[in-house]
Every structure is written in structure tokens, then in C-alpha cells.
Chains A and B, each alone.
Chain A
């Protein structure tokens, strides 16, 4: 790379091959849906990166745009009913505004997605092995038999017992956990550089949840790919993620190393999320949900979207919370931490609050 046109730090022309290399570089991504009631702004100016060999957790309440932003990476929004601006670079290739043929090439091959609901994500009329084989054949010029053998291997890899027989079964013959394993097998069949797992465990019971997360972790080590784990379960994040992006009303509000962010949040929304976690109620202070509810995406609040629910806004001098969208800024004393918050010293403020309660 003699000339660097791309943004500094991000690999824009060369392919990512080493651990830590950026595979996905999202800059200023905005996704709007024109509806009868008006423009629904599901994702606003979202910026983040996903790196090879690392797991990025995207967390936030329901409706914060986690799924919408990820689906934009695979080009799964109907172009006629969606406006997407900003930049999504996958392995150096710009995807915003790319034609359908580009997406058909990268889907499953470079980026795969395990969807929120395993019950309905597999086609009820086709055998599981065939569905996986189809994805392999879309990107490899091989016979049906070879692809189906590959599908059986993948089912074996994700820990489905008796894969040969299972491959010839239909999704309704699989349990929920098995279906999710099959979805992961489908996601990894072409060895993509990025796997997006959208709440892969919500519909499953606790023991199966743990198994699925372990599986994703193991496979990531084996394949060395980047993983984006979408969840609203912060306990899951603590166990599995390296990095974290907290989203609120379509915007990123805090990002950093997962463990550090959970240990020391520096944005009132992240703090609120952690406070509402059941594990915090074991000692003196009570389980405390964030007051109010997320704003309408049709009409986002002015300034910082979180201000109507923020209990720290009076500690910000002036009317910045109402009038100005906070820019990303580093948090003093915390490496690799970025927040969007007007508080002069959020860490101190939040620490003090925790001390009081």
C-alpha cells in the first residue's frame, strides 16, 4: 500500500488475513425506512469495526437497530423500501450502493448471518443437509453429492450427533438447539471471514444457550473469523465478547473492550443497562430498570437521543443534552474507550452514583 486513500487504520484495499485485521469497517451508516407515518430512522451515523479473530458484541434494548444495521451488511433490506447512506466496507469492498450481484457474491462466502429465530429460519420443505449444501454450491463449482458431503461434515463440526442421518431430515425433526446448530453450520459452510450471530440464543433454554455460545467461540478460534454477536444479554457479553458496541435508538453510544466497559461503564445508558441486570440485585441495591422507554424512530429527540431518560442530564452545564448531538470522544484514563456523552467526567459521575446506592 503505497498510497492510502482509505481512512487511517482501516484496511481498505488489501484483504484482511491476520488476526486483528479489520474485516468490516462501518462508517456513518444510516438506514431509513420510508413509511406511511414518515421516515423511520432505524440506524443513525453508526460507526464501528469488526476484526479477525475477535468477537464484537452489539448490545442495546429492543428496537435499537442491531438487526437492521447487520442486515445492511448482507444487503438484505429491500432497496426500494430502504435508504442506506454512509459506508460499509467488507474486506476492503464498498457495499453501500453495491449492485445485487455484489451481495450475491459476498453473502455466505465472506459474511454469513445466523438469524434471531432458529424455529423459522430454515425452510420447512427442504432437508437440512440440502439447505446447507445449496449455500456451498452457490460459491463452489461442485456436484450435489460433494456439497452434501460437505454439509454432513459441517453438521458434524457443530456437534450434531449422527450427522449423516440428520442431514436427510427436515427442520421440524430438529429440536430448537439443533436447528440453531444447523444454522451455524449453514453460516460457516463457506468459511466466511465474518459471522454475524443475531441473538442466537434468545429462543433457547439456558443450558442450550451456553452450548451454542461455546460452540460459536470454539469455531471462531478454529476458523479465525470475526464474529459479531448481537444480544441484549449482558451476561453473555461478559463471557464471550472481546469488544462491545452499545447502541441506543439507532446510534452507537459507547464502545471499547467488553470486559472493561461492563466493569466501568462511562455512558449513562450503558450504566443503566448494567443496573437493570439481575446480578446487580444480589447486594443492597435493587434491580433498577431505566425509566421511560426508547424514543420513536420517526421523531428522535433533539440533541442526545437518550436525554429524556437520562438521570444525569442536570450535571451537564447548559442545554447541551437538548441541543447538541454528542460527538464520539475518548474517556480519560480508559484505553480504547469511546463514548457519546456530554458529561464532563462520566466515569467519576457514574462511580459516584454507584457509591450512593
Chain B
């Protein structure tokens, strides 16, 4: 178990490192001049370009640049910006060219908003998706089953951004049933009500997949021999379905749950934009629009770390759910 874990962690670190190298090469060593690309104005003055190059340390060899960036991740760096010194503490991901603030600050200060959004969405889609899936499986073949599956299929096949836009438009603007999002800096209590609308709609959209996935998984486990054994003990049908069958049915759901949580934590660009939640997704979107490459690069790296750690967490969780995995 321990060696397995160590191996998994080593693999995870390798993936993160590879992402780091790849994004670094892409943005800083590509054929185009990053300084030119990063320049916000239409035509950059030579001064401006030099300033950018200098702030990035680009007049130095590539290896030196990379090792600087790399050590900055662990010990932080100092940048000279138009005479001032900006301290970029570890993990330093460089400075945003537009705000001149450390990228890590830009991202991490927005992370709590994204986490709060994620938590609510996960609660909604798990509750709705799993319960409708179990329900559909137990009434399989009936009209109720077809309605649940058909409904989730139709709902799930509408492009999410359309549903998000319509829901935002109707429930927060035209008929302001739900409050619009505020800023997290006003306090969590003030901030949370603004998340209700995105929680509901994004939760429901994601739930459609879980309905179908849970249903199919449940139908499979309900036909298992050990479920028949459970039933033959004389325990209630509710226990047979809700304990014996569901426990086994949910273990494969864990894998996609990990991926979905990772995707949500990496910032839901569209949702955060539409509902004006100042999370890391919206920040990344802004950075994309402004060619703020250090921020984009930082986001890519953070996303890689999130995805890789979610996979690791899922693997570990798996071994707790399924005892057969523990030994191998």
C-alpha cells in the first residue's frame, strides 16, 4: 500500500513537472516573441518591449530562465518593475503583466470563491443525480424510468452555456428570484446567496450524467449474486438497495466524480463569467483576452496540480471503498 502510494505520488509529480516544462517552452521559448505577444498595446515601443523582456529575464539563456522560474516556485523571487521591487513569494509563478501583481496571488486569492462554487455544485449534482439514478434503476422499464432517463438525456444534450445563460437571465435579471453574486471580500455570508443560482443550474446540468451513470451501475449491481444473498437474509428491501447495491454501484461513479471535481476546481470559465463570480476561471478568461501569459501559464500549472491530486485522492478513496484494491 505504501509503495503503491509513493509510486502514485512520483507519477503525479512527473506529470506536473512535464506540464511545467511544456507550458514554459510553449510560452517563453516558442518561435513568436513573447514580449511582443504579451504587449497589451497595438504597437509596442522598444522601451516597453525591453521592459517586458527584462521583467521576464528574457535576455538570459533559456536554461537560466527556466531554473529561475523553477526555483521561484519553491523560494520566491523579486522582480524589478519600473524601479519598484515586487516581492513574489513562493510558489512564485511570475508577475501578471497587466497588474504587476504576483500570479500566485492573483490565482490563490480567487480560489476560495471557486471552491465554494464547486462544493455547492457537487452537493447538488450528487444528491439529484444519485437519487434519480437509484430511483430509475429500481423502477427500470417503467414509464417513470423512461421519463427520468429521457429527461436527463434531453437536458444533458442542450449546450450548457445556453442553459446557464437562460437561467442567469431569467432568475437573476428578469425575475430576480436569486441574488446576483457579490464579492467574497464582503464576507462569506454576503457572498454565498449569490452562488445559489449557479449551484442549482450547474448542479442540475452535471447531475444528468450522474442520473444515467448511477442508474446503469445500479441495474448491474442489482443483478449481482451478492445482492440476491443480501435479500435472502430477510433484511428490508430498502437496506438491500440502499446499502448492499448502492455501495457497490457508487464505486465506479467515484472516478468520474474525481474528474468533475477537478474540472470545477480548475475554474468553470463560462459559469463564473456568466454569474460574475470572481473565481479563478473568470480570471483565466480575462488573462486569455489580454494575452496575460504569466497568468495563463500559472493557471495551466495550477490546473495540472488540481487534476493530478484529484486523481490521487480518487485512487486512495477507491482503496477505502473497495477492499479488494487495498492489497494490490
Whether both chains belong to one complex is answered with: yes
Which residues of A does B touch, CB under 8 Å? 74, 76, 100, 103-109, 112-113, 115, 117, 120-125, 131, 134-135, 138-139, 170, 172, 183, 186, 190
Q: Which 7 A-B pairs have the closest CB atoms?
A: A107-B234, A135-B233, A120-B225, A123-B226, A170-B323, A108-B234, A138-B234
* Residue among B224, B229, B233, B244 with most chain A CB within 10 A: B233
| Of B230, B232, B236, B251, the contact of A123 (CB 8 Å cutoff) | B230
Q: Are B228 and A123 closer than 8 Å at their CB atoms?
A: no
Of residues 207 to 262 in B, which have CB atoms within 8 Å of A's CB atoms? 224-226, 228-237, 244, 247-248, 251
Q: Are A107 and B231 closer than 8 Å at their CB atoms?
A: yes
CB distance from A104 to the nearest CB of B (A): 5
Q: Are B323 and A76 closer than 8 Å at their CB atoms?
A: no
CB-CB under 8 A for A107 and B226, given A124-B322, A172-B323, A172-B324: no
CB distance from B146 to the nearest CB of A (A): 15
Q: Are A108 and B232 closer than 8 Å at their CB atoms?
A: yes
CB distance from B250 to the nearest CB of A (A): 10
Give the CA-CA distance A49 to B162 in the complex, in Å: 66
Instruction: With CB as the reference atom, state the residue of chain B lying closest to A118.
Output: B225
Q: Are A105 and B234 closer than 8 Å at their CB atoms?
A: yes
Give the CA-CA distance A183 to B229 in the complex, in Å: 9
Q: Taking the complex as formed, is B321 at the interface, i.e. its CB lies under 8 A from any CB of chain A?
A: yes
Give the CA-CA distance A170 to B319 in the complex, in Å: 13
Q: CB-CB < 8 A to A107: which residues of B?
A: 231-234
Q: Are A134 and B233 closer than 8 Å at their CB atoms?
A: yes
Q: Are B322 and A115 closer than 8 Å at their CB atoms?
A: no
Q: Give the dominant DSSP class at B's interface.
A: helix
Q: CB-CB < 8 A to B323: which residues of A?
A: 124-125, 170, 172
CB distance from B236 to the nearest CB of A (A): 6
CB distance from B65 to the nearest CB of A (A): 52
Q: CB-CB < 8 A to A109: which residues of B?
A: 234
Give the CA-CA distance A113 to B234 in the complex, in Å: 11
CB-CB under 8 A for A115 and B229, given A124-B248, A125-B323, A172-B324: yes
Give the CA-CA distance A123 to B233 in the complex, in Å: 13
CB distance from B143 to the nearest CB of A (A): 13
CB-CB under 8 A for A112 and B232, given A124-B324, A125-B247, A125-B322: yes
Q: CB-CB < 8 A to A131: which residues of B?
A: 229
Give the CA-CA distance A186 to B233 in the complex, in Å: 8
Instruction: With CB as the reference atom, state the residue of chain B lying closest to A170.
Output: B323
Q: CB-CB < 8 A to B224: which residues of A?
A: 120
Instruction: With CB as the reference atom, state the residue of chain B lying closest to A137.
Output: B235
Give the CA-CA distance A242 to B46 in the complex, in Å: 103
CB distance from A105 to the nearest CB of B (A): 7
CB-CB under 8 A for A170 and B324, given A115-B229, A120-B225: yes
Q: CB-CB < 8 A to A139: which residues of B?
A: 234
Q: CB-CB < 8 A to B229: which residues of A?
A: 115, 121-123, 131, 183, 186
CB distance from B317 to the nearest CB of A (A): 13
Q: CB-CB < 8 A to B232: which residues of A?
A: 74, 76, 107-108, 112-113, 115
Q: Are B233 and A115 closer than 8 Å at their CB atoms?
A: no
Known: A105-B234, A138-B233, A190-B234. 18 other contacts (CB 8 A): A76-B228, A103-B234, A104-B237, A107-B232, A108-B232, A109-B234, A120-B224, A120-B225, A121-B228, A121-B229, A123-B226, A123-B229, A124-B323, A125-B247, A134-B235, A139-B234, A172-B323, A172-B324
Of residues 244 to 299 in B, which have CB atoms within 8 Å of A's CB atoms? 244, 247-248, 251
Give the CA-CA distance A134 to B224 in the complex, in Å: 18
Q: CB-CB < 8 A to B231: which residues of A?
A: 76, 107
Give the CA-CA distance A121 to B228 in the complex, in Å: 8
Give the CA-CA distance A125 to B246 in the complex, in Å: 11
- Could you jot down 30 A-B contacts, CB within 8 Å? A76-B228, A104-B234, A104-B235, A104-B236, A104-B237, A105-B234, A106-B234, A108-B233, A108-B234, A109-B234, A115-B225, A115-B228, A121-B226, A122-B226, A122-B229, A123-B226, A123-B230, A123-B244, A123-B248, A124-B226, A124-B248, A125-B323, A131-B229, A135-B234, A138-B233, A138-B234, A183-B229, A186-B229, A186-B233, A190-B234
Instruction: With CB as the reference atom, state the residue of chain B lying closest to A107.
Output: B234
Q: Are B225 and A121 closer than 8 Å at their CB atoms?
A: yes
CB distance from A252 to the nearest CB of B (A): 24
CB-CB under 8 A for A125 and B235, given A115-B225, A115-B229, A120-B226: no
Q: CB-CB < 8 A to B244: which residues of A?
A: 123
Q: CB-CB < 8 A to B251: which residues of A?
A: 125
Instruction: With CB as the reference atom, state the residue of chain A lying closest to B222.
Output: A78
* Residue among B224, B229, B234, B323 with most chain A CB within 10 A: B234
Give the CA-CA distance A100 to B239 in the complex, in Å: 14
CB distance from A295 to the nearest CB of B (A): 26
CB distance from B198 to the nearest CB of A (A): 35
Instruction: With CB as the reference atom, state the residue of chain A lying closest to B251.
Output: A125
Give the CA-CA distance A74 to B232 in the complex, in Å: 7
Q: Are A100 and B324 closer than 8 Å at their CB atoms?
A: no
CB distance from B26 to the nearest CB of A (A): 45
Instruction: With CB as the reference atom, state the residue of chain A lying closest to B142.
Output: A80
Give the CA-CA distance A106 to B236 in the complex, in Å: 12
* Residue among B232, B236, B247, B324 with most chain A CB within 10 A: B232
CB distance from A139 to the nearest CB of B (A): 6
Q: CB-CB < 8 A to A108: which residues of B?
A: 232-234
Give the CA-CA distance A122 to B324 in the complex, in Å: 13
Give the CA-CA distance A76 to B230 in the complex, in Å: 11
Q: CB-CB < 8 A to A170: which residues of B?
A: 323-324
CB distance from A203 to the nearest CB of B (A): 12
Q: Are B235 and A138 closer than 8 Å at their CB atoms?
A: yes
Give the CA-CA distance A120 to B223 in the complex, in Å: 11
Q: CB-CB < 8 A to A121: which residues of B?
A: 225-226, 228-229
CB distance from A181 to the nearest CB of B (A): 15
Give the CA-CA distance A112 to B324 in the complex, in Å: 27
Q: Are A125 and B233 closer than 8 Å at their CB atoms?
A: no
Q: CB-CB < 8 A to A76: which residues of B?
A: 228, 231-232
Instruction: With CB as the reference atom, state the residue of chain A lying closest to B226.
Output: A123
Instruction: With CB as the reference atom, state the residue of chain B lying closest to A113.
Output: B232
Of residues 173 to 211 in B, which have CB atoms within 8 Å of A's CB atoms? none
